[in-house]
């Protein structure tokens, strides 16, 4: 019964034990991918400040059910954290169209309208970014894939992506023959899997990036 895992996950989340909550939501989603399960896991990731994983789950939930008002509201909260005021406002408005009595969405919409009027709609540069090196390994302005857009929106994911690119480049430069060919093959496989599995239930982008970075660093030792 996937609902049992989901309900226990909600209990763990209420106790602020988000890792246990996510583990239970994972089980629920494996048994039956449902938009409320994905939204709940997205909320847990958001509370952990793993914004890329949260966005991944909210987007997956809306692909399953574009009429799920709660997901729009909660993704709006996430966009607000990211400084994406225009996207936050659009999601609050979508939530209100689907659920006109949603007081949280109505309040969030009022706040976003006021913030856009005062600060504008453009997202700010991340406060923890000392330089352009906080950007990922690719140009965000020309990013087309959804997974790349998510990486661009999350400073933590951007740092992981950049670390993978730099570690791979250093290893490739010092490798020859069969080792270089194997390195290129594993990198292609990693990127292909990332692109294919992103947005699918149970796929954790942050964890996948971290594991690839760890593998490259282990190879370099």
3-class DSSP state of 24:
helix
Alpha carbon 159 to chain centroid, angstroms: 14
- Residue 80's closest CA among 89, 68, 70? 89
- In CATH, the architecture of 2-119 is Alpha Horseshoe (1.25)
Q: What pLDDT does 125 receive?
A: 45
* Ramachandran angles phi, psi of 34, nearest 5°: -130, 150
Average the pLDDT over 104-113 and give the result: 94
Provide Rg for the chain, Cα atoms.
Answer: 19
How far is 1 from 158, CA to CA, in rounded Å? Answer: 37
Where do the CATH 1.25.40.10 domains begin and end in the chain? Answer: 2-119
Contact of 45 with 77, CB cutoff 8 Å: no
Average the pLDDT over 123-147 and give the result: 66
- Residue 214's closest CA among 180, 157, 170, 164? 164
Among 29-33, 50-54, 123-127, 202-206, the range scoring the smallest mean pLDDT is: 123-127
Contacts of 189 (CB under 8 A, 6+ apart): none
pTM score: 0.60
Confidence of residue 127 (pLDDT cuts 50, 70, 90): very low
């Amino acid at each position: 019964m996937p609902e049992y895992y989901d309900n226990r996950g909600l209990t763990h989340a209420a106790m602020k034990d988000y890792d246990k909550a996510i583990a239970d939501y994972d089980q629920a989603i494996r048994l039956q991918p449902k938009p409320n399960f994905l939204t709940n896991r997205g909320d847990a990731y958001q509370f952990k400040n793993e914004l890329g994983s949260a966005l991944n789950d909210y987007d997956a939930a809306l692909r399953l059910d574009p009429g799920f008002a709660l997901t729009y509201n909660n993704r709006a909260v996430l966009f607000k954290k990211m400084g994406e005021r225009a996207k936050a406002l659009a999601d609050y408005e979508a939530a209100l169209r689907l659920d006109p009595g949603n007081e949280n969405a109505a309040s969030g919409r009022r706040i976003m309208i006021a913030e856009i009027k005062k600060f504008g709609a453009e997202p700010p540069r991340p406060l923890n970014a000392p330089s352009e090196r906080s950007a990922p390994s690719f140009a965000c302005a020309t990013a087309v894939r959804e997974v790349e857009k998510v990486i661009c929106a999350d400073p933590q994911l951007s740092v992981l992506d950049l670390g993978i690119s730099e570690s791979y480049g250093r290893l490739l430069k010092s490798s020859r023959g069969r080792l270089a060919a194997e390195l290129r093959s594993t990198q292609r496989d990693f990127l292909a899997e990332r692109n294919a599995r992103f947005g699918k239930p149970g796929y954790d982008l942050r964890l996948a990036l971290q594991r690839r970075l760890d593998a490259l660093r282990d190879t370099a030792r």
